[in-house]
Structures are given as structure tokens and as C-alpha cells.
């Protein structure tokens, strides 16, 4: 029934002279998302993106596009030539198929092509009267409709649709640069990754693995989370850092109550190095203020002190219940709650310091060969790229 999908975007439209670059990136990302459908073609027309279905089921295409950042909404569309009688008949045919029970409705008509003989209000009135006479179970309600029938008169055709499917909004991935996501096996960090991808960031992930203290199943859990993020973004490169020797050294030489603070400082040192080598300009963490010992303001201050690279914390002011809701929408929640602990939890002291001081933390680190430990961990780092729909990654 539907020949097209139209995709709408929001912020891109106010990007001035850069708007074309944002539109091109959005179309590239959409084409990557639907590349399995050979017949689907995507073009830009008048501030929108038009997806030509060419016989492909629109539901399958919508399912692939619904997580593409930059898309605000989509509508499956019937096209008909600019002829009032044909528009009326197509409107009745469409509504007779979608209206199954009594429903309140209204008509919205827009005349983008001013050559069409009726104005927008005149077309709205004509179509509304015709639809009411020919489609049962409809009642006009212009203030609180359950269904809105829209007719857009455009230069190439008249577009008819009744459905508006929400997209994620935001900006196309790749328009805001690249950042490194510290990806644990928990609930928060995949959500943080998605939140920054929605703002146009390309993400690479870093995971700190402490085998044999943490199991292969814990690593598999993180790999599955990376695959989920790749399904949203097209691809994700995962760097697995072998953290065991660092944790053993911290355990042996540092006060137990400061071990989490020192561990997080090592993570940032390593992430900083990897970010520079991968030309990333920021780190992303899933930290939420006050959630655990390392996420107090005092802890963040001390931990941040080892790097000058910007650290983005998109969840910092969010409640846990809201983070869980997004994780469930992303389908990462069920993976994150699997009972395989990561290095952050396996060495958790009984009484971690919630308000560490910089001086005491730096003193605690004096017995550690920081540079040697960091370099050894980087040298042993493994990198894997996960692509959308891949079951296994490609090891580098």
C-alpha cells in the first residue's frame, strides 16, 4: 500500500551553512542501516529524507531506522498525482483500511506547491467532508483527535499519511567527533554510550578485564553489550585492556579504602592514552552523581586529576530508575544484569573512601610504578570491531 517513508529531522534544520553536511551524514547512516534491502533508495527532498520502498515492507525498514540518531519521526506515505478527485479516492481507500472502530479524527492539508488550485484551508474542508461521507465510524475532533489524516501537496505528488512513528532525534552519528566509552558490564555505561551517540559522537569502547579474577563470561557479557551498541550505531570498536597486574599491585601496595579511587585513576590514565592513539577527543563514562563511592563529587575530582581530556558524563544527574528504563528500551538491560562481575565490583573494599583527598591518594600511589603498569596494560590490549548484525567480531 505504501510507496514511501518520509523521515523528518529537527536540529539539523537550524545548522545554517553546515546543514548540508549534517543531512549527508544522516543519509549515509540511514543507507548503512537499511543496506540489506537492495530495492530501498534514499534521497533528500525539501528538508526531509525520502525513503523509496520499491515494494519492500515499510515495517521492516522502519525497524532498521528507528534507532538512527537524527531522525525525529517517520511516516509511511501513499503518493498520488495532484488531482483532487484522485486524492479524495486515495484518502478514502487509506482510511477504510486503517479505521476499524469508531474514532475521532481531523484532516490537515498543506500546499507546499502553490500551483495547486485549492488553498490549504480549502483542501482541508474538501477532504474532510468527502471522508466523512465515505468512511464509517469517524467523528470530527480537531482539538483532541485520535487519528490525523495528512495531505501534503508537493511538487512531485500529493503525499497522504495517517501515522507518525517517533525516532530518537538528536544528531547523526559522526557529526560531533569521536570519544572513548568506558564500558563495564553494568547497566549505566551502555546507556551513556547511547546518549552520546545521539548527540552525534562516534564511540569506541574500552573494557578493563581482570582475568582470572573476572571470568570469561564477564568478558562475553561486555562483548554482547558492544554488539548491541554496534547494532545501534553501525559498528563499535572494543578495546579490552588486561587490568590484572594493575589490580594486584594496587591490592598489594595501596590502602584498601583508597583502592577504588586508585583503580579509577589508572583506568583514566589508560583511556587517555588510548584516546590519543585513536584520535578521540573525549572520554564517556556511565557515572551518576552519588550512586557509588567513586561517584561522589570528591571522588570525581581526585580521579579526574590524572587527565586533561574532557570527560562526558551524560547520566550524571539522572535517577537510576530512568537509566534502567532507557537500558530496557535499548535491550541492554537483560545483558547487564547477568551475574558476572567486572573488575570494579570484584575488588570492592568493605569501606571504600567516599570523600578521598588528592594528597592522600597521590601518596598511596607512590609505591607503584605507574608508567610501567600503564604501558604494560596498553601493550596487552586487544581490539575487536563489531559491525551491525555480526555474531562475532573482527580481531585486530
CATH number of residue 82's parent domain: 3.30.2130.30
Q: Do 84 and 22 contact (CB within 8 A), yes or no?
A: no
CA distance 110 to 112: 6
217 and 353 share one domain: yes
Share of the chain above pLDDT 70, in %: 96
For residue 393, pLDDT beyond 60: no
159 and 212 share one domain: no
357 and 214 share one domain: yes
Share of the chain above pLDDT 90, in %: 79
- Give the domain CATH number at 211: 3.40.50.620
189 and 109 share one domain: no
Q: Is 286 annotated as a binding residue?
A: yes
Q: Is 266 annotated as a binding residue?
A: no
Nearest to 234 by CA among 64, 10, 20, 61: 64
Domain that holds residue 150: 4-166
379 and 237 share one domain: yes
Residue 56, domain member (yes or no) = yes
Of the three residues 113, 137, 166, the one that is the final residue of a domain is 166
120 and 222 share one domain: no
CA distance 20 to 262: 46
Residue 391: predicted pLDDT: 47
Residue 172, domain member (yes or no) = no
- Which stretches of 253-313 are assigned E, i.e. beta strand? 283-284, 311-312
Of the three residues 140, 166, 192, the one that is the final residue of a domain is 166
Residue 247, domain member (yes or no) = yes
149 and 208 share one domain: no
Q: What is the pLDDT of residues 212-248, one digit of tens each?
A: 878 888 899 999 999 999 998 889 999 999 999 999 9
197 and 333 share one domain: yes
For residue 293, pLDDT beyond 80: no
Per residue, the 3-state secondary structure of the chain, as one string, reads: CCCEEEEEECHHHHCHHHHHHHHHHHHHHHHHHCCCCCCCEEEEECCEEEEECCCCCHHHHHHHHCCCCCEEEEEEEEEECCCHHHHHHHHHHHHHHHCCCCEEEEEEEEECCCCCCCCHHHHHHHHHHHHHHHCCCEEECCCCCCEEEEEEECCCCEEEECCCEECCCCECCCCCCEEEEECCCCCHHHHHHHHHHCECCEEEEEEEECCCCCCHHHHHHHHHHHHHHHHHHCEEEEEEEECHHHHHHHHHHCCHHHHHHHHHHHHHHHHHHHHHHCCCCCEECCCCCCCCHHHCHHHHHHHHCCCCCCEECCCCCCCHHHHHHHHHHHCCHHHHCCCCCCHHHHCCCCCCCCCCCHHHHHHHCCCCCHHHHHHHHHHCCEEEEEECCCCCCEEC
Q: Do 340 and 221 contact (CB within 8 A), yes or no?
A: yes
CA distance 285 to 223: 17
Q: Average pLDDT, stretch 239-261?
A: 93
Residue 289, domain member (yes or no) = yes
DSSP assignment string, 204-239: EEEEEE-TTTS-HHHHHHHHHHHHHHHHHHSEEEEE
Residue 388: predicted pLDDT: 75
Residue 395, domain member (yes or no) = no
194 and 158 share one domain: no
Average pLDDT, the chain: 92
Prior bond of 241 cis (ω within 30°): no
Burial degree of 84 (CB within 10 A; 0-12, 13-18, 19+): middle
Name the residue with higher pLDDT: 180 or 391.
180
Residue 171, domain member (yes or no) = no
Nearest to 237 by CA among 376, 390, 395: 395
Residue 394, domain member (yes or no) = no
Of the three residues 166, 195, 230, the one that is the final residue of a domain is 166
Question: In the chain, how many domains are there?
Answer: 2
270 and 334 share one domain: yes
CA distance 52 to 60: 13
Q: Is 207 annotated as a binding residue?
A: yes
For residue 7, pLDDT beyond 60: yes
Residue 207, domain member (yes or no) = yes
125 and 252 share one domain: no
137 and 213 share one domain: no
Q: Is 252 annotated as a binding residue?
A: no
Q: Is 167 annotated as a binding residue?
A: no
Q: Average pLDDT, stretch 316-323?
A: 93
For residue 302, pLDDT beyond 60: yes
Q: Average pLDDT, stretch 324-335?
A: 95
Residue 107: predicted pLDDT: 97
Amino acid at each position: 500500500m505504501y510507496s514511501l517513508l518520509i523521515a523528518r529531522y529537527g536540529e539539523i534544520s537550524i545548522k545554517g551553512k553546515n546543514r548540508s553536511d549534517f543531512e549527508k551524514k544522516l543519509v549515509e547512516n540511514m543507507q548503512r542501516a537499511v543496506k540489506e534491502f537492495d530495492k530501498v533508495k534514499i534521497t533528500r527532498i525539501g528538508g526531509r529524507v525520502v525513503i523509496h520502498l520499491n515494494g519492500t515492507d515499510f515495517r521492516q525498514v522502519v525497524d532498521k531506522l528507528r534507532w538512527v540518531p537524527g531522525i525525529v519521526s517517520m511516516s509511511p506515505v501513499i503518493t498520488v498525482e495532484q488531482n483532487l478527485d484522485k486524492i479524495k479516492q486515495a484518502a478514502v481507500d487509506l482510511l477504510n483500511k486503517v479505521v476499524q472502530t469508531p474514532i475521532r479524527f481531523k484532516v490537515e492539508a498543506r500546499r507546499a506547491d502553490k500551483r495547486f488550485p485549492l488553498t490549504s484551508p480549502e483542501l482541508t474542508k474538501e477532504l474532510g467532508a468527502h471522508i466523512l461521507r465515505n468512511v464509517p465510524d469517524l467523528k470530527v475532533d480537531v482539538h483532541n483527535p485520535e487519528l490525523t489524516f495528512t495531505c501534503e501537496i508537493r511538487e512531485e505528488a500529493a503525499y497522504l499519511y495517517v501515522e507518525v512513528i517517533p525516532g530518537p532525534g538528536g544528531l547523526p552519528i559522526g557529526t560531533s567527533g569521536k570519544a572513548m566509552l568506558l564500558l563495564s558490564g553494568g547497566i549505566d555505561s551502555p546507556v551513556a554510550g547511547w546518549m552520546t551517540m545521539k548527540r552525534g559522537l562516534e564511540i569506541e569502547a574500552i573494557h578493563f578485564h581482570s582475568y582470572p579474577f573476572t571470568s570469561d563470561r564477564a568478558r562475553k557479557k561486555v562483548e554482547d553489550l558492544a554488539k548491541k551498541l554496534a547494532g545501534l550505531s553501525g559498528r563499535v570498536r572494543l578495546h579490552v585492556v588486561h587490568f590484572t597486574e594493575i589490580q594486584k599491585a594496587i591490592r598489594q601496595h595501596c590502602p584498601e579504602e583508597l583502592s577504588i579511587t586508585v583503580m579509577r585513576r589508572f583506568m583514566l590514565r589508560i583511556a587517555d592514552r588510548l584516546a590519543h592513539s585513536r584520535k578521540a577527543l573525549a572520554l564517556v563514562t556511565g557515572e551518576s552523581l552519588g550512586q557509588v563511592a567513586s561517584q561522589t563529587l570528591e571522588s570525581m575530582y581526585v580521579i579526574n586529576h590524572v587527565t586533561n581530556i574532557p570527560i562526558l558524563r551524560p547520566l550524571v544527574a539522572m535517577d537510576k530508575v530512568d537509566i534502567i528504563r532507557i537500558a530496557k528500551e535499548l535491550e541492554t538491560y537483560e545483558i547487564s544484569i547477568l551475574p558476572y562481575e567486572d573488575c570494579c565490583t570484584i575488588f570492592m573494599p568493605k569501606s571504600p573512601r567516599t570523600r578521598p583527598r588528592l594528597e592522600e591518594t597521590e601518596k598511596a600511589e607512590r609505591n607503584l610504578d605507574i608508567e610501567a603498569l600503564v604501558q604494560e596494560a596498553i601493550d596487552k590490549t586487544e581490539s575487536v570491531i563489531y559491525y551491525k548484525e555480526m555474531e562475532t567480531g573482527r580481531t585486530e
